[in-house]
Amino acid sequence: MSSNVKKCLDSISAEIQIVHLQMVSKGAQYLVLATFFYALMNVCIKFVFHIPLMEIVLARCIISLIASYTHLKVIKQPIWGNNKKALILRGLFGMVSLTAFFYTLQQMPLASAVTIQYLSPIFTIILATFIVGERTTLIQYGFFAISFIGVIFIKAFDLRVSVLEVGLGITSAFFSGLAYNMIRKTSSTEHPMVVVFYFPLVALPFALIGTCFDFRMPTGTDWIFLILAGVFTQLGQTFMTIALQLEKASGIVNLQYAGMLFSLILGYIIFNEKYPELSLLGMVLIVIGIILNFLYTHRRKTIPLKTT
């Protein structure tokens, strides 16, 4: 074996080991766990598609507010935090994202709604350039373009998906990106549960107002799915916050693509959802763009950029 080939193989092996170590880091583990709980939440929301949107948001806020407040009191942590501006913005951005996402979950096939919303890692990384000073390169924008082409495929070849629904899905992803960056800004000043607490604190008044205009009393299993949706969201939000406070957004948010796989499996098993082949290709393109950016990000961490 020539020395050049050996060097190349050694380089590839070292890079794989580095990526593997990063993927099993605490932050990555917490993020994958959060993604799994969010997938369970998505299923619960699909089961209560007949319940008005803001009523679902309200139920989620009440459960999260009680759980977060109780947790903070048990650990004797002050609830109001230090960086109140970032915490309030995190709550506002999260509320817009969640409301738009719940709408798409009610109206779209499960995997399509989740896959479009998982453009949020792209928006997180782009917005991190301006909010927390994390650098984004031209090559990464090329990877992002691949993912957006995937969104076009989903819309163009799945007639069950409307332009409005796709637009709201992208809106949800954008505001998720803003919310995640607010979490990053609080990483050095706030306890993770304080960050989680601010979401229902900020969103609850808006959800109450919305519910006043459109309310339907849940019946039977509706109560179970609403409560479970709130519990799973709380767990997902908690693990997501810890993950984003532990590590840079550009390093781990790409692991959310696992949510698409969870949703495809759960949607097929529970709701018998099937997808046109080209729509599935669109989902694959979204994931490819995200994975390429993930690998490129880690390569940049381990191989210094040349300067002139």
Per residue in 241-256, pLDDT (tens digit) is 777 667 665 555 556 6
pTM of the model: 0.74
Contact criterion met (CB below 8 Å) for 242 and 187 = no
298 vs 301: CA distance, rounded Å: 5
H/E run at residue 272: none
Average pLDDT per block of 10 residues along the chain, 308 residues long? 48 44 63 84 88 90 91 89 89 92 86 80 81 77 84 77 88 91 83 88 92 89 92 85 67 62 79 81 82 73 45
Residue corresponding to tokens 């139920």 = 59
Q: Kindly state the tokens that stand for 279.
A: 């729509």
The pLDDT score that the predictor gives to residue 23 is 46
Q: Kindly state the tokens that stand for 269.
A: 């098993």
Question: How far, in Å, are 127, 138, 153, 183, 228 from residue 115 at the CA level?
Answer: 20, 24, 12, 22, 22
Question: How far, in Å, are 79, 142, 152, 297, 302 from residue 94 at the CA level?
Answer: 18, 27, 25, 26, 33
Per residue in 193-223, pLDDT (tens digit) is 898 899 899 999 999 999 998 889 998 899 9
Where do the domains of the chain lie?
26-302
Mean pLDDT of the chain: 80
